[in-house]
Amino acid sequence: MTHEEILTLGPDTAGLRKAAEILRRGGLVSFPTETVYGLGADARDDRAVAGIYEAKGRPSFNPLIVHVPDLAAAQVYCDFNDVAHRLAAAFWPGALTLVLPLRPDAGISKLVTAGLDTLAIRVPDHPVAKALLDVFGGPVAAPSANPSGRVSPTTAAHVLAGLGNRIDAVIDGGECPVGLESTIVSCAGTPALLRAGGIPVEAIAACLGAPLAQPDDPALPVAPGQLASHYAPKGKVRLNAPYAEAGEVLLGFGPVDADLNLSPSGDLTEAAARLFACLHQLDAMGAEAIAVSPVPDIGLGRAINDRLRRAAAPR
In degrees and rounded to multiples of 5, residue 269 shows phi and psi of -65, -45
Residue 97 pairs with which residues in a beta bridge?
184
The answer to whether residue 33 forms part of the interface with ligand TXA (CB under 6 A) is: yes
User: Which one, 111 or 223, has the nearer CB to ligand TXA?
Assistant: 223
> 73 vs 44, 77, 119, 131, 296, CA distance in Å?
14, 7, 13, 15, 37
User: Does 306 interact with ligand TXA (rule: CB under 6 A)?
Assistant: no
- For strand 118-122 and strand 236-238, is the pairing parallel, antiparallel, or unpaired? unpaired
Q: Look at residue 128 and give the partner it binds from Mg ion, ligand TXA, none, a contact being a CB closer than 5 to 8 Å depending on partner kind.
A: none
**Per-residue interface string for the shown chain with Mg ion, residues 124-163, x marking contact by CB under 5 A:** --------------------x-------------------
Q: Which does 62 bind (CB under 5 to 8 A by kind): ligand TXA, Mg ion, none?
A: ligand TXA
Beta-carbon contacts of 191 under 8 Å, excluding residues fewer than 6 positions away, are 83, 185, 208, 210, 212, 213
Is residue 200 within the footprint of ligand TXA (CB under 6 A)? Answer: no
Q: Confirm or reject binding of residue 142 to ligand TXA (CB under 6 A).
A: yes
The H-or-E segment that residue 160 falls in is helix 156-163
Q: Give the three-state DSSP class for 35.
A: coil
35 binds, among Mg ion, ligand TXA, none (CB under 5 to 8 A by kind): ligand TXA
* Interaction pattern, residues 154-183, with ligand TXA; x per rule: CB under 6 A: ---------------------------xx-
Interacting residue ranges for ligand TXA, rule: CB under 6 A? 33, 35-36, 38, 62-65, 97, 99, 113, 116, 118-120, 142-144, 181-182, 184, 194-195, 223-226
